[in-house]
């Protein structure tokens, strides 16, 4: 009997407020609402929508199956890299690190479209004015224009040599782009060509902002460049450099955005790569002309000539057109900024920071200047997450509470609701543990102090600052909760007892309260720093790992030496002992897990488990199966008896510092450097090791297959870039597993359907021949229909058409590209058959045209070289039939348009009355003639 295991899947992820992508502001739906609005932030692979006033998580946009499930890849999901929102259509475009673009409908909270055209992370996106086209730029230096209506990539613009950093489009004709190659380009979208290229900055160009005819770019230095943009001028002079401005921050500007107040005053901000965002005000025209007149007068008084005055004004262009307004300074490094409210009296901004928090600032102003010296921070969202890495997690013995400790914060979460219920300030926590009962938490810090927190009263009961001289790397508690063992980098292991003592209430003489205290019992000195300590479940053994790569096992009661486990090449970072005290597992920085017998200290197995240091190992209760977490971002599930990996749980984007397991073994919580806490729950699905290995091999094969399709095979893969002559504009192609599978499904349908059609045709020919001879021989036997078609009650051509319809429009062209030429001929024959079915032609005319034109265009050389008269006649028949069908369609459309125009005319005649006053020049003094429309 093949052994099976229960599958663990990701049940939820929490603790993430915002990650690296930009944030998007959504105004409240009703103007009467008290809420200022909501902010959309990226949360690793998900998208969060937060109410800025209440700090509540309104909704989470998540696409795809949960990590760990049977059909999910064993690689980590792609992180969101850029967000762009279109107000009128309520569409949110999300770009991902793997180059995928998903268009979300925020009403239904579902993905409407998925585009695969880029090879690396999306860096910038922009909807056009109508919201029907999306322009995306990527780290692969390409710009793609997508049509959201027909769900296809229209064309790819390739001219930049580095990541795209800014995009701006004017109508449907013009596009301006900047890149980290330091260039700024103007594209004519009608001909899909670059018509102007300028060197924006000597180094990288990091951001671009456009307002009317003013364009601003920022480079890797402190300089901003101001340009005049005018598309009406001839090519070569559409973009003219006007001036340079030095900003306050010495760091590069990462983002530039404009916004206009109701009175017409324009503002823009520059988000820097530090803790500041500089806000500027664009001076109005009357203000500028007034200032210029004053300056001219002043310069003339100084005795300057007109030429010198003009030169002076030209050089000070940047200071004339704009002036610094205010600087937003955050406590943490700013990740992204967005305008929220821009009125005639105040500016408001929402800011996401690198410390996993959101801040909301307001700048009140009068006329031209702010009324306060610094922006007011109105709201913050920081409770549902940690500011720094979560270094330790632990679960209470009733499995209801979760404690997470980081540098400066200890948070306690309700595991059911995922809500943070307690927050305590602590030192730089390295380890934490619940005491039995689940109301007390003990924390060990890097400074060497022990802190005891009471959840019921939300107080710090005791702070032993001198518990150890240096960092407390690990601590453990006996099963009865009376004794604590701490291991530190000061080469000591200390034993502590928990005792309840009467403590005098401050301000009273005779009132005492019982308080839990930590009493130091004994100290054991060792030769090296202690990295991990672990007490066996029945309190018999104490295992400690030392910096000399060994693990020592002692008897807990007498502290006598029992075993020494040596074999690791680097220090052991974590230890765990099984429920029956028969096995001890150790994980090390040498990427290995060793499983030892606790009877004789023999090494049962050494497993090369991860690709980086293994931070934590934990046994499942009542089992020899265990979990491990590593700096490679993976959590793995192992069989401790068979020494095999059961499951790879890939969801974290970076190092997994710690894991905790519930007392019933049904849930595992992992904490990572990416600020996320993920809950992995046991499901009813079963894992078979053979199937998991096969799945891994399939994924490996799929990756190499896609790579070979992209790069070519044989000599093509080794050709240098210099040999490739690339056009500025090309079609959008990117083979994915979905498009390959769609192509395979189409081939299967063509095989099944066309063989059926050919068999019927042969039968018809044989039948006619038999009827003509009137011979006494047996008539030809009618071929038996395919079982699938009979079950579905469909004709062969209907079945093929249904398969075609099911292929997503965005994958259709890529699916047709993988068809071998023999299948192309079958597809052409199928189209010829469909054209004879008037009803089907009318229903699917657009799809037929799209397939036919693409197939002819991509296979025209092979088709021309064919000397097949039947094929030629077939294509001619299709051409004639298609022209007739298209003409019918055009006639119907024209008839309908004229009918609608007539109805509109009749409506206007009956319901619209024309009361226009008409003046006669001759009779202007005498009176007016009033013309009335038809009254009914």
Is residue 720 predicted with pLDDT exceeding 60?
Answer: no
Residue 48 near residue 60, CB atoms below 8 Å: yes
- Averaged pLDDT, 71-94: 91
Helix axes 821-835, 796-806, angle to 10 degrees: 110
> Does residue 914 fall inside a structural domain?
no
> Does residue 350 fall inside a structural domain?
no
326-374: pLDDT as tens digits: 999 999 999 999 999 899 899 999 999 999 999 999 999 988 888 988 9
Task: Give the confidence band of 402 by pLDDT, cuts at 50, 70, 90.
Answer: very high
Is residue 568 predicted with pLDDT exceeding 90?
Answer: yes
931 or 191: which leads in pLDDT: 191
State whether residue 834 is helix, strand or coil.
Answer: helix
215-235: pLDDT as tens digits: 999 988 888 999 999 888 888
| Burial annotation 427-463 (CB, 10 A radius, 16+ → b, else e) | bebbbbbbbeebebbbbbbbbbbbbbbbbeeeeebbb
**pLDDT at position 296:** 81
668 with 746, same domain?
A: no
Other CB atoms closer than 10 Å to residue 623's CB: what's the count? Answer: 14
Residue 228 near residue 244, CB atoms below 8 Å: no
Q: Which two tokens stand for residue 263?
A: 């009175």
> Does residue 630 fall inside a structural domain?
yes
Secondary structure E strands in 44-107: 46-51, 57-61, 80-86, 91-96, 100-105
In order of 193, 291, 606, the CA distances from 190 in angstroms are 8, 41, 64
Residue 780 near residue 751, CB atoms below 8 Å: no
**pLDDT at position 739:** 82
How far is Cα 59 from Cα 49, in angstroms, rounded to an integer? 5
**pLDDT at position 29:** 76
**pLDDT at position 144:** 94
312 or 585: which leads in pLDDT: 585
> Does residue 685 fall inside a structural domain?
yes
Secondary structure in 3-state letters for 555-572: ECCCCCEEEEECCCCCCE
How far is Cα 478 from Cα 484, in angstroms, rounded to an integer? 7
Q: Which of 177-186, 534-543, 705-714, 756-765 has the lowest mean pLDDT?
A: 705-714
745 with 684, same domain?
A: no
651 DSSP β-pair partners:
none
743 with 848, same domain?
A: yes
196 DSSP β-pair partners:
186
**pLDDT at position 723:** 40
413 with 510, same domain?
A: yes
**pLDDT at position 913:** 64
Is residue 164 predicted with pLDDT exceeding 60?
Answer: yes
Question: Which residue range(s) make up the domain with 816?
Answer: 737-752+782-891
Residue 488 near residue 530, CB atoms below 8 Å: yes
**pLDDT at position 863:** 83
Is residue 610 predicted with pLDDT exceeding 50?
Answer: yes
Burial zone of 506 (CB within 10 Å; 0-12 exposed, 13-18 middle, 19+ buried): exposed
- Computed from CA positions of residues 762, 765, 771, 772, in that sequence, does the dihedral angle turn out positive or negative? negative
614 with 747, same domain?
A: no
481-517: pLDDT as tens digits: 889 999 999 999 999 998 888 777 777 777 777 888 8
Mean confidence (pLDDT) of the chain: 87
Q: Which two tokens stand for residue 682?
A: 């046991």
Residue 505 carries which DSSP code?
P
401 with 526, same domain?
A: yes
Secondary structure in 3-state letters for 450-474: EEEEECCCCEEEEEECCCCCCCEEE
**pLDDT at position 915:** 55
Nearest to 131 by CA among 151, 115, 149, 118: 149
Residue 540 near residue 547, CB atoms below 8 Å: no
**pLDDT at position 278:** 93
**pLDDT at position 364:** 93
Last residue of a domain, one of 875, 891, 907: 891
CATH assignment of the domain containing 462:
2.130.10.10
Task: Give the confidence band of 279 by pLDDT, cuts at 50, 70, 90.
Answer: very high
How far is Cα 655 from Cα 79, in angstroms, rounded to an integer? 15
In order of 135, 170, 215, 651, the CA distances from 129 in angstroms are 11, 8, 18, 37
**pLDDT at position 31:** 63
Tokens 């930049």 correspond to 160
573 with 438, same domain?
A: yes
620-630: pLDDT as tens digits: 999 999 999 99
> Does residue 664 fall inside a structural domain?
yes
869 or 727: which leads in pLDDT: 869
Is residue 468 predicted with pLDDT exceeding 70?
Answer: yes
**Neighbouring residues of 50: CB distance < 8 A, sequence distance ≥ 6:** 17, 38, 39, 40, 41, 56, 57, 58, 358, 381
- Averaged pLDDT, 24-29: 88
Q: Which two tokens stand for residue 659?
A: 């894991």
Is residue 922 predicted with pLDDT exceeding 50?
Answer: no
> Does residue 285 fall inside a structural domain?
no
- Averaged pLDDT, 181-204: 91
> Does residue 643 fall inside a structural domain?
yes
**Count of helices and strands (H, E) across the chain:** 13, 58
411-423: pLDDT as tens digits: 999 999 999 999 9
**Neighbouring residues of 470: CB distance < 8 A, sequence distance ≥ 6:** 446, 448, 488, 489, 490
809 with 884, same domain?
A: yes
Q: Which of 272-286, 621-635, 693-707 has the lowest mean pLDDT?
A: 693-707
Task: Give the confidence band of 386 by pLDDT, cuts at 50, 70, 90.
Answer: very high
How far is Cα 581 from Cα 584, in angstroms, rounded to an integer? 7
**pLDDT at position 710:** 66
Total structural domains within the chain: 2
**pLDDT at position 1:** 61
- Averaged pLDDT, 443-472: 92
743 with 877, same domain?
A: yes
Task: Give the confidence band of 306 by pLDDT, cuts at 50, 70, 90.
Answer: confident
Task: Give the confidence band of 932 by pLDDT, cuts at 50, 70, 90.
Answer: very low
Task: Give the confidence band of 32 by pLDDT, cuts at 50, 70, 90.
Answer: low
- Averaged pLDDT, 799-827: 86
Count how many residues are written for the chain: 936
- Averaged pLDDT, 760-777: 78
Q: Which of 265-279, 670-684, 703-717 has the lowest mean pLDDT?
A: 703-717
CA–chain centroid gap for 633, Å, is 17
109-119: pLDDT as tens digits: 999 999 998 98
221: left (phi over 0), alpha (psi -120 to 50) or beta: beta
> Does residue 51 fall inside a structural domain?
no
Burial zone of 361 (CB within 10 Å; 0-12 exposed, 13-18 middle, 19+ buried): buried
Residue 650 near residue 671, CB atoms below 8 Å: no
**pLDDT at position 918:** 53
603 with 491, same domain?
A: yes
How far is Cα 658 from Cα 493, in angstroms, rounded to an integer? 22
**pLDDT at position 926:** 47
464 with 596, same domain?
A: yes
39-58: pLDDT as tens digits: 999 999 999 999 999 999 99
Q: Which two tokens stand for residue 188?
A: 């004519």
Other CB atoms closer than 10 Å to residue 558's CB: what's the count? Answer: 8
Task: Give the confidence band of 866 by pLDDT, cuts at 50, 70, 90.
Answer: confident
798 with 678, same domain?
A: no
């Amino acid at each position: 009997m093949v052994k099976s295991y229960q599958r663990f899947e990701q049940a939820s992820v929490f603790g993430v407020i915002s990650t690296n992508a930009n944030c998007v502001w959504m105004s409240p739906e009703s103007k009467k609402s008290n809420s200022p609005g909501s902010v959309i932030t990226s949360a690793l692979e998900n998208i969060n929508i937060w109410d800025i006033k209440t700090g509540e998580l309104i909704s989470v946009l998540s696409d795809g199956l949960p990590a760990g499930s049977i059909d999910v890849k064993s690689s980590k999901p792609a992180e969101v890299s850029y967000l762009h929102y279109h107000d009128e259509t309520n569409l949110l475009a999300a770009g991902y690190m793997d180059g995928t673009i998903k268009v979300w409908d925020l009403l239904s909270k579902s993905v409407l479209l998925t585009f695969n055209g880029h090879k690396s992370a999306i860096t910038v996106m922009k909807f056009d004015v109508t919201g029907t086209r999306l322009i995306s730029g990527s780290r692969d230096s390409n710009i793609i224009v997508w049509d959201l209506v027909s769900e296809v990539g229209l064309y790819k613009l390739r001219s930049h040599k580095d990541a795209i950093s800014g995009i701006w489009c004017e109508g449907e004709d013009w596009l301006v782009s900047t890149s980290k190659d330091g260039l700024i380009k103007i594209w004519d979208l009608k001909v899909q060509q670059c018509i102007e290229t300028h060197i924006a900055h000597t180094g990288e160009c990091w951001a671009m902002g456009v307002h009317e005819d003013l364009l601003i770019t920022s480079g890797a230095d402190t300089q901003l460049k101001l340009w005049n943009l005018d598309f009406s001028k001839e090519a070569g002079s559409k973009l003219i450099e006007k001036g340079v401005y030095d900003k306050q921050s010495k760091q590069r500007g990462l983002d530039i955005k404009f916004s206009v107040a109701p009175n017409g005053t324009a503002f823009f901000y520059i988000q820097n790569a530090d803790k500041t965002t500089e806000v500027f005000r664009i001076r109005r025209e009357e203000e500028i002309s007034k200032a210029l007149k004053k300056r001219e007068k002043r310069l003339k008084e100084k005795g300057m000539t007109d030429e010198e005055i003009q030169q002076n004004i030209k050089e000070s262009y940047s200071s004339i057109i704009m002036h610094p307004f205010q600087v937003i300074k955050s406590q943490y490094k700013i990740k992204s900024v967005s305008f929220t409210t821009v009125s005639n009296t105040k500016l408001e901004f929402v800011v996401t920071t690198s410390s996993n928090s959101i801040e909301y600032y307001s700048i009140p102003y009068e006329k031209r200047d702010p009324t306060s010296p610094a922006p007011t921070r109105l709201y913050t969202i920081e409770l549902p997450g940690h500011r720094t890495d979560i270094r330790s997690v632990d679960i209470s013995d009733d499995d209801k509470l979760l404690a997470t400790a980081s540098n400066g914060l200890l948070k306690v979460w309700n595991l059911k609701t995922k809500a943070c219920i307690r927050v305590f300030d602590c030192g730089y926590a390295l380890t934490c543990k619940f005491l039995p009962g689940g109301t007390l938490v003990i924390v060990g810090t890097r400074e060497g102090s022990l802190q005891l927190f009471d959840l019921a009263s939300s107080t710090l009961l005791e702070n032993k600052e001198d518990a150890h001289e240096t960092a407390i790397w690990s601590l453990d508690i006996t099963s009865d909760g009376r004794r604590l063992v701490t291991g530190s980098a000061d080469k000591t292991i200390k034993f502590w007892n928990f005792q309840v003592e009467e403590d005098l209430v401050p301000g009273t003489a005779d009132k005492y309260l019982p308080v839990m205290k930590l009493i130091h019992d004994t100290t054991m000195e060792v030769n090296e720093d202690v990295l991990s300590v672990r007490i066996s479940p029945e309190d018999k053994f104490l295992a400690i790992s030392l910096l000399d790569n060994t693990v020592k096992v002692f008897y807990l009661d007498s502290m006598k030496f029992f075993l020494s486990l040596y074999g690791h090449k680097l220090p052991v970072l974590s230890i765990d002992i099984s429920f029956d005290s028969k096995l001890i597992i150790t994980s090390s920085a040498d990427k290995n897990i060793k499983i030892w017998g606790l009877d004789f200290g023999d090494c049962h197995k050494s497993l090369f488990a991860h690709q980086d240091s293994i931070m934590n190992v934990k046994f499942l209760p009542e089992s020899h199966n265990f979990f491990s977490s590593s700096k490679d971002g993976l959590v793995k599930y192992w069989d401790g008896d068979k020494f095999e990996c059961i499951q790879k749980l890939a969801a974290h984007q970076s190092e997994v510092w710690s894991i905790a397991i519930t007392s019933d073994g049904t849930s595992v919580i992992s904490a990572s450097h990416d600020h996320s806490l993920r809950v992995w729950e046991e499901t009813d699905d079963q894992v078979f090791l053979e199937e998991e290995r096969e799945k891994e091999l399939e994924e490996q094969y799929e990756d190499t297959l896609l790579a070979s399709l992209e790069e070519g095979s044989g000599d093509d893969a080794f050709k240098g870039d210099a040999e490739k002559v690339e056009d500025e504009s090309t079609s959008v192609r990117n083979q994915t597993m979905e498009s390959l599978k769609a192509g395979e499904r189409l081939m299967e349908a063509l095989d099944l359907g066309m063989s059926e059609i050919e068999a019927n045709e042969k039968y018809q020919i044989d039948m006619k021949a038999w009827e003509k001879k009137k011979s006494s021989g047996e008539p030809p036997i009618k071929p038996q229909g395919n079982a699938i078609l009979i079950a579905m009650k469909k004709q062969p051509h209907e079945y093929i058409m249904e398969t075609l319809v099911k292929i997503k429009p965005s994958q259709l062209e890529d699916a047709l590209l993988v068809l071998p030429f023999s299948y192309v001929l079958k597809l052409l024959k199928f189209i010829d058959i469909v054209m004879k079915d008037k009803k089907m032609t009318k229903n699917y005319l657009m799809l037929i045209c799209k397939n036919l034109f693409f197939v002819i265009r991509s296979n025209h050389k092979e088709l021309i070289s064919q000397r097949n008269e039947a094929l030629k006649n077939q294509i001619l028949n299709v051409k004639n039939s298609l022209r007739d069908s298209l003409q019918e369609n055009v006639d119907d459309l024209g008839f309908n348009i004229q009918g609608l125009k007539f109805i509109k005319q009749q409506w206007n005649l009956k319901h619209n009355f024309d009361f226009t006053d008409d003046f006669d020049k001759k009779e202007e003094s005498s009176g007016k003639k009033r013309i009335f429309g038809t009254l009914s």
